[in-house]
Amino acid sequence: MDHSEGEGRGERGPHVAHRLSDPVVAERFAALETVGHNSSDVIVVLNHGGFVLYGNPVAQQFFELSAEEGVGTDALGLIHPEDRERVVERFLSLMERPGGSIREALRIVTPSGVVKDLELVATNSFDNPAIGGILVNGQDVTQRNRDQRELVSLAERFRVAFAENMAPMTFTDLEDRIIDVNDAMCEMVGYAREELVGQDSTIFTYTEDVGITEESHRRALAGETPQTRYVKRYRRKDGRIITVEVSRATAVGPDGQPQYFVFSERDVTEERTMTAELSKRALHDPLTGLANRSLFEDRLAHAHARARRHGGYGAVLLIDLDDFKGVNDTYGHVIGDELLAAIADRLRRVARSTDTLCRFGGDEFLVLVEEMAGGGEARAIAERILEEMAAPFSLRGTTFVQRASVGVAVFDPSAEDVSTLVQSADIALYEAKRQGRGRVVVFTPSMHLEAVSRFTLAQDLSRALERDEMSMAFQPIIDLANGEVVGYESLMRWRHPERGAVPPDVFIPLAEQSNLIYDLGAFALRVAAEAMNRLPRSDGYPPYVTVNLSARQFHDRNLPDLVRRALRLHDVAPHRLLLEITESVALEDITESLAIIEELATLGVGVALDDFGTGFSSLSYLVQLRPRAIKIDQSFVRPAAPSPQSDAILELILLLGRKLGVMMIAEGIETPAQYHRLRGVNCRYGQGFLWSPAVGLDEVEDLITRLSESPPIDHSRRRRGRMNERHVAEAD
């Protein structure tokens, strides 16, 4: 821009340039030009039409026009369209008032399209020979206005962020006095804003948590934690206690010193309650409320660490309920669950405050015992548990006794690792059950070796059938009146390729722990049915054969079909087969047992009660079961201390059998004296080593010959009766 002169809206271009050559005009603007070059303001001179006569360097930069481009420019045309009508009207009014002035704020649009803010004072100086136009003196306020708008926006955002924030917020001074609170904070603590401003936070802080905020302030002022987060409890005005998560920030002034504190708070009462509940569910058994396995393992690790630091002994007790399945089967799972809960209550009565109780799963419980003076204390605690369990349970009008077995594993400060303690307790528990249940066994290292041996043996057993290592042996059952063989008990044998003969009382329990027992049972039935066609007939009558069944086999619903197929495959008369079960197996679930026995009887197959006299059967159950045969346990055949009383008991058992029409077979006869004792009380049938142990099928023919030629008992009045089809019919 440069000085020029023109009159009227429209004077510009060559006419304006022509006026620049006028020495008088040039002289007129000389003084103004000196001032304009040294000013930081926007200085412009306009003619009557609003065209530029002069613009200083600041004006040139503001309007983005050079000196040449600026002179003659329609300044009013650069005004923002939204401001133009208002500003032009005021400029036209100013033209009519010599010496008058106006103050205006407006927006300018530069040729490149940039919008700028300008605040100006315009003066009518046409009567001033040094100016001769409208003198505009302005300031570029674009950045200032932008900053102000940003401040307004920030203020609005802050208002929304604080006053209308749904999160409770508080401002306090450095002494914890409340400067301001928002509505959400008032609602959370139940106080009005007027009740809080000027107070400190103790007005709503739970008594035991006073000091938490003060300590946080102290650390902030010491420069340790300008920002922090903590949890404390508040007591609302209505008295309700809530848990709050507090986030605190320190506002710092230009000098870097703390000015005030800003708090954002969150009511986490429900969240904490839910978290605690979820944590309890995750770490506790829902039925009993005891710790679950995860929590138990964590407590065990800590107990081990404490023992190593401070000394002392600890122990893991694994408790397993004896025959809990019978409770579920007899009374239902509702009673079963209530019993488990009742057992948990009894364990709580025995446990000390330092012990941890756990439901390990199913009907197994764990107890972690800490701070023991010696390892023997663990056995004493286990014995107290069994004593507590011995008292009858009464649930929903039903009273019964639920006994248990306990395996104990002890650790001391020298223990390097306790991760196998539960496994060790399980090994001890297995030994407790093997010894007869209802007892306590403490783990010893030798038990681990036995467990490894059992595991290896179980692995070998799983392949024994396919390797043809299993076979059946047959022990004769004798008519004691005449010495004739009337039947055979089939007994399973396992010849291990490396260990040799493995006793049944070793491998049968291993098989019962897995489904292998079903494979062995099917094998025994097939071989027994096949053997019936090869066993020599006694005096023309075919002998019968007994097959022993475990509890799992007998209660398997597929048993009748399995028996039917075996008999049909080998074309054997059903009455020649007797299935042996112990009386305890029969009474596990008397209703189910009766149904199975009835189904077997429909096939023509009978049931024999083995080890009779050692269980707890009642006469009413015996009548219901209606066994075809009863095998008298050898403890009655060869009592530890023979006496008239033991003879009387044996005679009563035999009399009971005769009255019920049941075959009575004495087991374990080994000496002639035992034979004569049995004959003295009219026992008709028996078996034992006096005649022969069990032999292979290929040896039975020689056995019969030997017994015929050299009988162990001289039957001077030999009767020709046989335990054959006629005897079976009589027994039925």
Express as a percent the part of the chain with pLDDT over 90: 35
Q: Is the pLDDT of residue 225 over 80?
A: no
> What angle (nearest 5°) sits at the alpha carbon of residue 276, between those of residues 301 and 215?
90
Tell me, what's the pLDDT at 156?
67
User: In angstroms, how far is CA 363 from the centroid of its own chain?
Assistant: 18
Model confidence at 566: pLDDT above 60: yes
Domains 14-146 and 163-273 in one fold: yes
Find where tokens 């934690």 sit.
Answer: 225
- Residue 101: pLDDT over 80: yes
Residue with tokens 């053997």: 531
**Cα–Cα separations (whole angstroms), residue 704 to 472, 639, 668:** 18, 29, 19
CATH code reported for the domain at 14-146: 3.30.450.20
Tokens of 250: 């320190």
Task: Please state, in angstroms and rounded to a whole number, the distance separating the CA atoms of residues 193 and 267.
Answer: 18
Are 455 and 507 within 8 A, CB to CB?
no
Between 5-19, 315-329, 409-423, the lowest mean confidence (pLDDT) is in 5-19
Residue with tokens 């009013």: 76
pLDDT for residue 122: 92
User: Span 214-239, mean pLDDT?
Assistant: 82
- pLDDT mean across residues, the chain: 84
CA distance 113 to 136: 22
pLDDT of residue 279: 66
Helix (H) or strand (E) holding 191: none
Distances (CA, A) of 583 to 235, 590, 594, 613, 660: 68, 10, 12, 9, 16
Q: Does the structure show a pLDDT above 80 at 632?
A: yes
> Rounded mean pLDDT of 229-238?
90
Q: What is the pLDDT of residue 729?
A: 39
pTM above 0.75, yes or no: no
Q: Which residue has the higher pLDDT, 332 or 195?
A: 195
The predicted model gives 59-66 an average pLDDT of: 90
pLDDT attached to residue 228: 83
Say if residue 510's pLDDT is above 60: yes
Average pLDDT of span 23-47: 76
DSSP annotation of 44: E
Mean of pLDDT values over 683-690: 94
Residue-level pLDDT at 20: 36
Query: CA distances (Å), 295 to each of 187, 339, 352, 361, 694, in order?
Result: 39, 23, 18, 13, 53
How would DSSP label each residue in 623-690?
A: HHH--SEEEE-HHHHS-SS--HHHHHHHHHHHHHHHHHT-EEEE----SHHHHHHHHHTT--EE-STT
pLDDT at residue 442, as a whole number: 92
Half-sphere exposure at residue 460, Cβ-oriented, CA atoms within 13 angstroms: 19
Contact of 49 with 57, CB cutoff 8 Å: no
Give the count of beta carbons closer than 10 Å to the beta carbon of residue 219: 13
Query: What's the confidence (pLDDT) of residue 12?
Result: 42
pLDDT in tens, 373-386: 787 888 999 999 99
Mean pLDDT of 494-508: 90
* CA 682 – CA 651 distance, rounded (Å): 8
Burial class (CB in 10 A: 0-12, 13-18, 19+), 606: buried
Per-residue pLDDT, averaged over 583-601, amounts to: 81
Helix (H) or strand (E) holding 52: strand 52-55
What pLDDT band is residue 575 in, cutting at 50, 70 and 90? Answer: very high
pLDDT of residue 16: 39
In angstroms, what CA-CA distances link 475 with 544, 546, 624?
12, 10, 29
Residue 45 has pLDDT above 60, yes or no: yes
CA distances to 315, 373, 732 from 377, in Å: 9, 7, 56
Give mean pLDDT, residues 624-632. Answer: 87
The residue written with tokens 């050692």 in the block is: 614
pLDDT of residue 720: 42
Greatest C-alpha distance within the chain? 175
- Residue found under tokens 């007790």: 317
Question: Where does 53-138 have alpha helices with state H?
Answer: 57-63, 67-70, 81-95
Query: Residues 10-27: what's their mean pLDDT?
Result: 43
Alpha-carbon distance 167 to 527, whole Å?
81
For 317-336, write each residue's pLDDT tens digit: 999 998 887 788 778 888 88
Helix axes 590-603, 559-570, angle to 10 degrees: 20
- Mean per-residue pLDDT for 76-84? 92
- 284-443, what's its fold? Alpha-Beta Plaits (3.30.70)
Beta-strand (E) ranges in 517-570? 544-548
CA distance 217 to 224: 10
Question: What value does the mean pLDDT take over residues 262-274?
Answer: 86
Tens of pLDDT, residues 593-605: 888 889 999 999 9
Class of CATH domain 467-731: alpha beta
Whether residue 457 has pLDDT greater than 90: no
Q: Would you say residue 272 has pLDDT above 60? A: yes
Question: At residue 220, does pLDDT exceed 80?
Answer: no
pLDDT at position 1 is 54
The predicted pLDDT at position 719 comes to 46
CA-to-CA dists, residue 560 to 196, 468, 522, 554, 602, angstroms: 84, 26, 11, 9, 10
Least confident residue range of 151-160, 206-215, 478-487, 658-667? 151-160
| Best CA proximity match to 411, nearest among 294, 298, 305 | 305
Its sign, for the CA torsion 561, 630, 543, 639, is positive
User: Which single residue is written with the structure tokens 């189910």?
Assistant: 592
Confidence of residue 208 (pLDDT cuts 50, 70, 90): confident
pLDDT recorded at residue 151: 66
Q: Are β-strands 500-502 and 485-496 bridged in parallel, bridged antiparallel, or unpaired?
A: antiparallel
**163-273: CATH, from 3.40.190.170, 3.40.50.300, 3.30.450.20, 3.40.50.880:** 3.30.450.20
Sign of CA dihedral 645, 651, 656, 657: positive
Q: What DSSP designation does 256 have?
A: S
The whole-number pLDDT of residue 487 equals 93
Q: How many other C-beta atoms are found inside a 10 Å radius of the C-beta of residue 31?
A: 11
Residue 606 has pLDDT above 50, yes or no: yes
Determine the length of the chain.
Answer: 732
Contacts 24+ apart (CB under 8 A), 106-111: 106/79, 106/80, 107/79, 107/80, 107/82, 107/83, 108/62, 108/63, 108/78, 108/79, 108/80, 109/78, 109/79, 109/80, 109/81, 110/63, 110/64, 110/78, 111/63, 111/64, 111/65
Range of lowest pLDDT (556-560, 581-585, 660-664): 581-585
CA dist., res. 239 & res. 26, Å (int): 88
Say how many CA atoms lie within 13 Å of 250 toward its Cβ. Answer: 21
pLDDT at 133 over 70: yes
Q: Hey, where are the domains in the chain?
A: 14-146, 163-273, 284-443, 467-731
Angle (CA) 84-86-90 rounded to 5° is 110
Check whether 727 has a pLDDT greater than 60.
no
Work out the pLDDT band at 732, boundaries 50, 70, 90: very low
- Nearest-CA neighbor of 585 among 550, 557, 558? 550
Q: Which of 406, 419, 359, 342 is nearest to 380 (CA)?
A: 406
Give every CB contact of residue 509 below 8 A, 6+ residues apart in sequence.
434
Q: How many helices (H) and strands (E) does the chain have?
A: 28, 27
